[in-house]
């Protein structure tokens, strides 16, 4: 990854996470697939831990894309609340006991911290939390696209992945 996103996540995992998110929005080659079926296929390609790290990285990228001023804590916390509201709309894939952890990850991202590193400081990534991080990523990407126009996040990721080549 670039210096701006220091945590090392293989490009294959990032691409798999982006494909899953695009499928969730009905864009890209997997648009006919159910999001959870797409997730399962992507898990098998890169592994659950790596795709989870990719989803965490994308959450951090999404908060950077929002570009809100860090000197405005009230705005930062409203964005975190709005992002969690988006996530709760997709609650079928979210474990209720994970919501506080997701809120803390969003806070880390809003404070410009490495979300992968923050999450890994809690211990190993478990299989049971992978889907929650996928839905959390889906929700924040949707939030970015709602605010900045459909496809904005995909364009950002294309640029980042192209810059890595």
pLDDT tens across 72-125, in order?
Answer: 777 777 888 888 887 777 666 677 888 899 999 998 988 889 999 999 999 998
Does 1 map to a domain?
A: no
pLDDT digits (tens, 9 = 90+) for 115-161: 999 999 999 988 888 888 888 888 888 888 888 887 777 777 777 66
pLDDT digits (tens, 9 = 90+) for 18-68: 888 877 776 555 444 566 667 777 777 788 889 999 999 999 988 888 776
Does 152 map to a domain?
A: yes
Q: Is 62 exposed, middle or buried (0-12, 13-18, 19+ CB in 10 A)?
A: buried
Range of the domain at 160: 11-164
Q: Which residue has the tokens 């992002």?
A: 83
Does 6 map to a domain?
A: no
Does 44 map to a domain?
A: yes
20's CB contacts (< 8 A; 6+ apart) are 30, 35, 38, 39, 42, 51, 134
Domains of the chain: total: 1
How confident is the model at residue 101, as a pLDDT? 92
Does 4 map to a domain?
A: no
Does 3 map to a domain?
A: no
Task: Detail the DSSP E strand segments found in the chain.
Answer: none
Does 93 map to a domain?
A: yes
Does 16 map to a domain?
A: yes
Q: What is the Cα–Cα distance from 88 to 68, expressed in whole angstroms?
A: 22
């Amino acid at each position: 990854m670039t210096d701006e996103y220091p945590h090392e996540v293989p490009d294959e995992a990032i691409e798999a996470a982006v494909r899953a998110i695009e499928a969730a929005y009905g864009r890209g080659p997997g648009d006919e697939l159910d999001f959870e079926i797409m997730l399962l296929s992507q898990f098998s390609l890169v592994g659950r831990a790596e795709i989870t790290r990719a989803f965490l990285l994308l959450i951090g990228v999404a908060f950077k894309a929002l570009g809100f001023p860090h000197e405005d804590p009230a705005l930062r916390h409203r964005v975190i609340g709005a992002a969690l509201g988006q996530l709760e709309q997709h609650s079928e894939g979210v474990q209720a006991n994970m919501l506080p952890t997701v809120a803390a990850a969003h806070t880390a991202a809003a404070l410009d911290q490495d979300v992968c590193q923050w999450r890994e400081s809690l211990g190993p990534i478990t299989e049971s939390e992978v889907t929650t991080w996928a839905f959390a990523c889906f929700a924040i990407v949707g939030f970015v696209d709602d605010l900045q126009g459909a496809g904005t996040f995909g364009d950002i990721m294309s640029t980042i992945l192209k810059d890595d080549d």
